Amino acid sequence: MNMPGTLIIGDHLNGSVRDITKEMIGAALSIKDRLGGPMIVALMSENPGALTGAVNLQGVDQIVTVKTAGDHFDPHVYEEAALKLGERFQPKVILCGHTVNGMGCAAAVAARLGAGFASDVLGLDVENGELVATRGAYGNKVNLEVSFTGRDIVVLALRGATFPVPTAVGNAQITGVDVDFSAVTANMQHKGYVEAPPSNIDIAKAEYILSVGRGIQEKNNLPRFEQLAERMGFTFGCSRPIVDAGWLPKPHQVGQSGRVASSCKLYIAIGISGAVQHLFGMKHVDTIIAVNSDPEAPIFNVATYGACMDLFELTKELEAQFN
């Protein structure tokens, strides 16, 4: 069954295409033959032509460039552009990243188009000519397959660090499209972008993570655990209260308002009670080791192995083993 294709809303930052955009191309490529139709990547920027080379990958049929007043993400501008491009190209699927940027406009686009919608999508398939999306459910305890019966168009926000990136170069046609943004910029303007503190870690791509929570008691104890994580070869993460207190920058945070440990194989949670917000980012990991002095801590409900003891005593033993 030949169906309209896929429209990908490109995500970029500081003049570079973000990994999630290339991952969306890989996701679309995995179902392209069964879904049918072309794969179109849309780039919104002050100079979108400078970004086209990075997305001209295998499977991309057309790159649509939309000139905007600035280079940084503006949810109202992206929403309007996605809406107009959706109306013009009539895709079956519009893909956005499950990122701060993507979630800033994806749901609004779906609502305005009357489309089906799913966020945090980690799998795509086509069954009997219809799209099926897989996403985490019940706090990532199970994977849920979602279909969109009766919807002519579907908007999906894809989880990062989940889909493979095509390595082959494509031969896409590049087309400029004019979009009138006057209606959305008349009463609001994007004034600037504040750069996040620099970080050399990526929680989403880390295979081994050691995270700490309020149980470590004070900021002065942080270096001890950070050094332990380094000696063990683990990425150093934390729960939200640690970031809210200003002890660690945001990139270290695991959880719903932080990063999902998408690629993690082993997660060690030290002094973390296990609030729902934190569990969202890690409870899907195959092997979880939790250390907490409270036997009723919710973290033990998802842990593969648990140690109900003084976390500093266990830390001392780990330091001796990984000296």
Tokens 């491009």, located at residue: 85
CA 184, distance to chain mean position in Å, is 26
User: What's the whole-number mean pLDDT along residues 77-98?
Assistant: 95
Instruction: For residues 248 and 219, give the distance between their C-alpha atoms in angstroms, rounded to a whole number.
Output: 9
Assess contact for 299 and 273: CB atoms under 8 A: yes
The pair of three-digit structure tokens given for residue 40, joined into one six-digit string: 């179109």
Taking the C-alpha atoms of residue 98 and residue 157, their distance in angstroms, rounded to an integer, is: 5
Pairwise CA distance, residues 218 & 190, whole Å = 38
Residue 317: is its pLDDT beyond 80? yes
CA-to-CA distance for 304 and 47, rounded, in angstroms?
A: 49
Answer yes or no: is pLDDT of 2 > 60: no
Question: Of 155, 165, 157, whose CA–CA distance to 54 is shortest?
Answer: 165
* pLDDT at position 198: 67
Q: What does the alpha-carbon distance between residue 173 and residue 40 come to, in Å, rounded to a whole number?
A: 9
pLDDT above 50 for 131: yes
Q: Is residue 16's pLDDT more than 70? A: yes
Q: Place 164 in a pLDDT band, splitting at 50, 70 and 90.
A: very high
CATH 3.40.50.620 spans which residues of the chain? 6-185
Q: Please answer whether residues 48 and 15 qualify as being in contact, where contact means their C-beta atoms are separated by less than 8 angstroms.
A: no
Residue 323, pLDDT above cutoff 90: no
Give the whole-angstrom CA distance, residue 281 versus residue 258.
8
The CATH fold assigned to 203-321 is Rossmann fold (3.40.50)
Q: What is the pLDDT of residues 172-227, one digit of tens each?
A: 999 999 999 998 887 777 777 777 666 788 999 999 999 999 999 999 999 999 99
pLDDT score, position 1: 35
**Residue of 71, 40, 284, 282 lying closest to 175 (CA atoms):** 40
Q: Dihedral (C-alpha) 243, 248, 250, 251: value to the nearest 10 degrees? A: -140
Strands annotated E in the chain: 6-9, 12-13, 16-17, 39-45, 62-67, 93-97, 116-127, 130-137, 142-147, 154-158, 173-176, 208-212, 235-238, 266-270, 287-291, 305-307
Using the structure block, give the residue that is written with the tokens 């008691």: 217
Q: How far apart are CA 255 and CA 270, in angstroms?
A: 15
Distance CA 177, CA 4 (A): 19
User: Which CATH architecture describes the domain 6-185?
Assistant: 3-Layer(aba) Sandwich (3.40)
Average pLDDT over the chain, rounded to an integer: 92
CATH 3.40.50.1220 residue window(s) in the chain: 203-321
- The pLDDT of residue 153 is 95
* 234 Rama sector, left if φ>0, alpha if ψ -120 to 50, beta otherwise: beta
Is pLDDT of 3 > 80? no
**Comparing 144-148, 194-198, 216-220, 312-316, which segment has the lowest mean pLDDT?**
194-198
Phi, psi of 139 (to 5 degrees): 65, 35
pLDDT at residue 197 in the model: 65
Cβ atoms of 282 and 139 closer than 8 Å: no
The predicted pLDDT at position 165 comes to 95
Judged against a pLDDT cut of 70, whether residue 259 lies above it is answered with yes
Q: What percent of the chain has pLDDT over 90?
A: 77
